[in-house]
A and B are shown apart, each in its own frame.
Chain A
Amino acid sequence: MTDNVLEVKNLTMHYMTRKGPVSAVNNVNFSVARGESLGLVGESGCGKTSIALSLLKLLPDNADIKQGQILINSKDIVPLNYAEICKLRWKQISMVFQAAMNALNPVYTVEDQILEAMQEHLPHLSEAEMDRRVDELFKLVGLDPKFKDQYPHQYSGGMRQRAVIAMALSCEPDIIVADEPTTALDVIVQDALLKRIRKIQEKLNMAMIYISHDIAVIAEVSDRMGVMYAGNLIEMASTEAIFHHPIHPYTMGLMSAFPSIVGDKTELTTLPGEPPDLLNPPTGCRYHPRCPYATAICSQEMPEYREHEAQHFAACWHPRGEV
């Protein structure tokens, strides 16, 4: 595939803490094509946000990219310095965070903040063009342009999140990374926003990486999805394949542990145990202490992340519980 706007190769990242290194992202490989929506799902502390931050190099000081490449439009961003990264942000890759209020500056109007990003990255545009573009962006995310000269605190939670999305879209990035953008919202607001995000992504033919802990949300917005567990990407395939034919026992457990309001009320399964401590992760497959199918090899060797079925990748010694 040559149309990959983003490729992540063998990415390994540690956080240095006073108790030792925390292995937050471990040998992760994936790619996203133009116009594709990729979902990343996992529990808290599984490394999904760390991956998002790595893509923009927004990592905290104690983070250390041990190895791997992050290719954005075939250019490796890992060795780039701060100034070079700043040129890439907004224009090639931009991000929408969970806490919209923190992403907006409370002392400027929403319009000013969007204009600022554009002036920095699209200096060739005239003032009138920029104004017109702000109006377009507002309409695109479903906000009335008459609210554009208001301050963030005058917006409701859903409106703020839309404004942040408008800002992220302002410089027409190739890739947008959305980290739990709807998690703090009520279902009705969330529903409207999810539909809007999906529509914009298809209309602008952007690549999107949507990160969430909620598999139902991922099911709504992504074509392909990856499942993360304890810093590893353990499975990746089309959303349908993951939901209907999961390979990894963790994915299988996750699917049957998730309640739904439609369909028959099936028994929810419980995954035994707790997620591991990443200060000293289990040897071999990191899921083996909780896995019902684990055998001796699982605790000794890390399974290879490979293509089990066409376009269906997984890292497991016993796919679907086979011995």
Chain B
Amino acid sequence: MTMPTNGLTVSTATRIPLWKIRLKLAWRATKTSWATFAESPIGLIGLGVIIFFGLFALAHPILMHTVWDSSTYDPQMGYDMEIAFHPANPSARHLLGTDPLGRDILSQLMYSTRYEFVLGILSAVVTVVIATTIGAAAAYYGGLIDAVLMRLADLVIMVPFLPILIVLSSLTEVGMFELALLIGVLSGFGGNTIVIKSQALSVKVKPFIEAARIAGGSDFHIIFTHLIPNLLPIALLYMMFVVTSAIFSEAVLSYFGLTTIRMSWGIMINTAQTQGYLLRFDTWYLLIPASLAITLLCAAFYLVGRALDEVVNPRLRSR
């Protein structure tokens, strides 16, 4: 029985350390996954948009240190004295105009992007960590642990997401960080846990789990080497959708003025509203840039999620 070697060999004479081989294997797996991902145009479009926003966010501090004068262009404290009346229409000085408080809209938009990313990714990570551990534990142990955790999940699902946030934000001060944690915990405990648990149940009954137990593996070993690695791809997929919903939720809450966030895309819309410019076509620059940014970034993460679905679920792949 001979087969061509795949270039990764270990011989006692010239030993390549294990970690190097693992790194190489991981790199190869990434390349194949990328090839599948790159086949779908929607994934590439989504990724392109995300990269654009990433650069957009990075450009802000650079611009602030070079061309933009901080007293005029600071997204929160800036005020352009040279213009008599704010909000001002787009001009060479202010590409997207200024808001009713005399601040540059482009600067606000760029500055907020950074926080939108932090919010989305932080809440997604929290969600994945919670959903994976809880889902895996509920599926693996079953019985009472499963029953308690699943009733908890039912409870979170039963109470709608936004109203909870609204109630909580009225009780305490909700900043960007708290909001990220909150969204992460809530979406982690709810539907995502159940999705991950159902996946975990199908992995749990595979004979390789029994083989690991016969080898003498502890519950901890089985959950972390066998169960969770097989859940991570699907968890990653749901992470993308959590990012979308986190950014959206933040926008809604900020629009209603329920957060103590000082600057974000939601806050920009909120400012337009509180100053009475909400439904006016002539001051479109107060609304459209922020709304468009929310829509684009949400859609981008969603599209990436859809494309990842093809990588993660081979059943969806066209043969």
A residues in contact (CB < 8 Å) with B: 15-18, 60, 62, 273-274
Contacts and interface: CB of A to CB of B under 8 A. Distances in A.
B13 interface: no
Nearest to A60: B319
Nearest to A273: B1
Contact of B317 (A16, A18, A274): A18
Contacts of A16: 319
7 contacts: A15-B319, A16-B319, A17-B319, A18-B318, A60-B319, A62-B318, A274-B1
B319 A62 contact: yes
A284 B317 CA distance: 33
Contacts, number: 11
Contacts of A18: 317-319
B304 to A, nearest CB: 21
A60 B317 CA distance: 14
Nearest to A22: B319
B31 to A, nearest CB: 15
A17 B318 CA distance: 8
Interface string B217-251: 00000000000000000000000000000000000
Given A16-B319, A62-B319, A274-B1, 8 more contacts: A15-B319, A17-B319, A18-B317, A18-B318, A18-B319, A60-B319, A62-B318, A273-B1
Interface in B296-319: 317-319
B314 to A, nearest CB: 11
Nearest to B35: A18
A62 B1 CA distance: 32
Interface residues of B, number: 4
Chain B, interface SS category = loop
Interface of B: 1, 317-319
Contacts of B317: 18
B232 to A, nearest CB: 24
A60 B319 CA distance: 10
A297 to B, nearest CB: 23
B32 to A, nearest CB: 12
Nearest to A17: B319
B6 to A, nearest CB: 15
A273 B2 CA distance: 9
| Nearest 9 A/B pairs, CB to CB | A17-B319, A62-B319, A18-B319, A18-B318, A273-B1, A15-B319, A18-B317, A62-B318, A274-B1
Most buried by A among B1, B318, B319: B319
Nearest to A19: B319
B307 to A, nearest CB: 15
Contacts of B318: 18, 62
B38 to A, nearest CB: 13
Contacts of A60: 319
A144 to B, nearest CB: 36
Nearest to B3: A274
B139 to A, nearest CB: 26
A18 B40 CA distance: 13
A138 to B, nearest CB: 36
Nearest to B39: A18
A119 B103 CA distance: 76
B85 to A, nearest CB: 61
Contacts of A62: 318-319
A15 B318 CA distance: 12
A10 B1 CA distance: 34
Q: Which of A16, A18, A60, A62 has the most CB of B within 10 A?
A: A18
A264 B140 CA distance: 49
A62 B317 CA distance: 12
A271 to B, nearest CB: 12
A180 to B, nearest CB: 22
A141 B33 CA distance: 51
A212 B318 CA distance: 28
Nearest to A62: B319
Contacts of A273: 1
Contacts of B1: 273-274
B79 to A, nearest CB: 58
A114 to B, nearest CB: 32
A86 to B, nearest CB: 25
A50 to B, nearest CB: 14
A19 to B, nearest CB: 9
B306 to A, nearest CB: 18
A230 to B, nearest CB: 18
Contacts of B319: 15-18, 60, 62
B284 to A, nearest CB: 46
B43 to A, nearest CB: 16
Nearest to A15: B319
Nearest to A272: B1
Contacts of A17: 319
A273 B3 CA distance: 10
A112 B317 CA distance: 36
A169 to B, nearest CB: 33
A21 to B, nearest CB: 11
A62 B318 CA distance: 9
A90 B319 CA distance: 29
A17 B319 CA distance: 5
A274 B1 CA distance: 8
A96 B166 CA distance: 59
A130 B318 CA distance: 42
Contacts of A274: 1
A16 B318 CA distance: 10
A264 to B, nearest CB: 30
Nearest to A274: B1
A282 to B, nearest CB: 15
